[in-house]
Amino acid sequence: MKFFRSSHWASEFLKVCSSFSQRTQDLQLALNIRTALRVDIAIDKLDKLIGMQSDREQRFEKEVQMRGGREKCLESEDKLVELLKIAEQREGRSQNKTRVDVPTKDANKPTSRTGRIDASLLYELRAPLRDLLDENRALFMFKLDTQTSDIKDAIKDSETRIMWAFNSRFRRVKDPVRTMKLNFMYH
């Protein structure tokens, strides 16, 4: 009885394989569409954010202008320390980007407390935007490639499990001719 339906199963397996292939393509298309929509949403949000400044940003911009503008502040670490202290006072918390020198009784050192800005913050403030974007793009591409690889591996694992399930059921079919050939070869 199993041999009677075996030709029917071959066409069913082909249908399942083509359906699986089509669903894989559909999934890729859906992921591409979803990604494109997310990018459009992000662009819209960025346009809104760029167009408006919060009260906090406006107050901080005034402080920068009182100290000679952005370029003057970037040239002077003292002005940056002042701006950082103002930001910390307004936020009510430390930014953990300054290191305050402890006052000493040494006559060669000033007794006032002076702060120094962390080197990583100075780099981020002074580096050209293009360089920062390139660094961020490299990190983003690494993460994207990793996630894409994980998704492909998951799909391949699922494909393997499905094919194994089909193959294990197919092996249950008893073929007397094949069995006889195998017995003859090994005995």
pLDDT at 90 over 80: no
Residue-wise DSSP of 139-167:
HHHHHHHHHHHHHHHHHHHHHHHHHHHHH
Q: Does 58 share its domain with 46?
A: no
- Residues 137, 80 share a domain: no
Number of H helices, E strands in the chain: 7, 2
What pLDDT, in 10s, does the model give residues 91-139? 775 554 544 443 344 434 433 334 677 788 888 888 888 999 999 999 9
Q: Which residues contact 90 (CB under 8 A, 6 or more apart)?
A: 56, 59, 60
Q: State whether 59 and 122 are in the same domain.
A: yes
- One domain, residues 132 and 159: yes
Is pTM, for the whole model, over 0.75? no
Q: 164 and 106, same structural domain?
A: no
Q: How far is the C-alpha of 122 from the C-alpha of 96, rounded, in Å?
A: 13
Report how many domains make up the chain.
Answer: 3
Question: Which pLDDT value is given to residue 181?
Answer: 62
Domain membership of residue 46 as a residue range: 1-52
Q: Is the same domain home to 77 and 48?
A: no
Which helix (H) or strand (E) is 118 found in, with range? none
Is the same domain home to 63 and 89?
Answer: yes
Looking at the fold, whether 37 and 62 belong to one and the same domain comes out as no
Query: What is the pLDDT confidence band of residue 59, given thresholds at 50, 70 and 90?
Result: confident
Phi, psi of 64 (to 5 degrees): -65, -45
Statement to judge: residues 33 and 62 lie in one domain = no
* 59 in the same domain as 122: yes
Is residue 66 located within the same domain as residue 119?
Answer: yes
Q: What is the pLDDT of residue 126?
A: 81
Both 104 and 132 in one domain: the answer is no
